[in-house]
Amino acid sequence: MAIHGPETDEDRSGNLHPGNRSLFCYWESVRGEAPAPARAQIDLKRISDILPGVVIMERSSQMQAYRCRLSGTGITELWGHDMTGRDLREPGGNFEREVLARLFDGAFAGAQPFSARLRLFHARQEPIMVEMLGLPVIAQSGATQLLATVLTKAHRRKTTVVPLRNFQITATRTIATEHRHLVQRRRLQVIEGGVYR
């Protein structure tokens, strides 16, 4: 689904970044039939090639905020500062913050993986296209966390860190997993006082 700007062939293809695709396949194999794997089951050595672009987020219970518990060096380079303890949606406008909040909430509340394509804007630089993948994991405390990646399509040379000015969402997708019917199943509730006709 295209959000900002014209839909590109890349948006229509639905193909994940190769690093995100391998992470998703690994996440699927680790979780088995559970809605989400335990965070302790994720072996960081298995994802070492994309580790700089990894962030682990927690949802704040006080307000609609999503704090980065850990953030890789690639995230620091893209956002222009260390995002640990901060909300990854920070530089976005209201629309972008709301769309990401809905995707994040789906992952936290319903174990719903997602992908999003973003266009990052830095001062006096060309926009950078990135792909975000969000995968729910269960912390040792039992709380859901979000294991997310933000990866660029092409390898970028390390540059001077410039603060992120803004970003646009160009496409979003939720990723169907087999457990969804278990999470969404609701029980029938009988309401007293109804009249059958």
Q: pLDDT tens digits, residue range 57-104?
A: 999 877 678 999 999 999 999 999 999 999 999 888 899 999 999 999
Mean pLDDT of 121-131: 88
pLDDT mean across residues, the chain: 83
Tell me the range of 60-69, 92-101, 122-131, 185-194 where mean pLDDT is highest.
92-101
Is pLDDT at 167 greater than 60 in this prediction?
yes
Is pLDDT at 10 greater than 50 in this prediction?
no
Q: Residue 100, exposed/middle/buried by CB under 10 A (0-12, 13-18, 19+)? A: buried
Domain range summary for the chain, segments of one domain joined by +: 19-179
What b/e string do you get for 148-178 counting C-beta neighbours within 10 Å, with b at 16 or more?
A: bbbbbeeeeeeeeeeebeebbbbbbbbbebe
Distance CA 173, CA 7 (A): 13
Assigned superfamily of 19-179: PAS domain (3.30.450.20)
Distance CA 22, CA 102 (A): 24
Distance CA 197, CA 177 (A): 40
Is pLDDT at 12 greater than 60 in this prediction?
no
pLDDT number for residue 194? 56
Distance CA 32, CA 35 (A): 8
Q: Which amino acid is at 111?
A: A
